[in-house]
Amino acid sequence: MANNNDKKIDQYFRAFQNRISNATSQLPLIVGNLVVNDALDNFRTQSFDGVPWPKRKTKSRRGAGNQNILIQSGRLRRETRITSTTPTSVKVGNSAPYAAVHNDGGEIRRSARSELFVRNRYKKGAKGKMFGGMGAFKKGTTSGKGLTFKAYSFKMPRRRFLGRSAALDRKINKTVKNHILRELRK
> Is 80 a residue whose pLDDT tops 90?
yes
Q: Which helix (H) or strand (E) holds 113?
A: strand 113-121
| pLDDT tens for each residue of 130-160 | 555 566 667 777 777 777 888 989 898 999 9
Please tell me whether residues 32 and 120 are part of one structural domain: no
Helix ranges restricted to H, the chain:
2-45, 75-78, 99-104, 166-185
Does some domain include residue 154? no
Q: What is the pLDDT at residue 159?
A: 92
Q: pLDDT (tens digit, 9 = 90+) per residue, 82-122? A: 999 998 899 999 999 999 999 999 888 889 888 887 777 76
- Say if residue 9 is in the same domain as residue 29: yes
Task: Dump the DSSP string for 63-107.
Answer: TTTTSPTT-SSSHHHHTEEEEEE-SS-EEEEE--TTHHHHHH-EE
Spatial CB neighbours of 26, under 8 Å, sequence gap ≥ 6:
179
79/95 Cα distance (integer angstroms):
6
Neighbours of 11 (CB within 10 A): 10
Q: What is the pLDDT of residue 68?
A: 79
- Asked whether residue 73 falls in the same domain as residue 132, the answer is no
Q: pLDDT band for 124, please (50, 70, 90 cuts).
A: low
| Distance from C-alpha of 180 to C-alpha of 15, rounded to nearest angstrom | 14
The reported pLDDT for the residue numbered 104 is 92
Distance separating alpha carbons of residues 42 and 21, to the nearest angstrom: 33
- Residue 21's domain spans which residues? 2-60+67-107+159-185
Same domain, 48 and 124: no
- The pTM for the full model equals 0.72
- φ/ψ of 124, rounded to 5, equals -125, 165
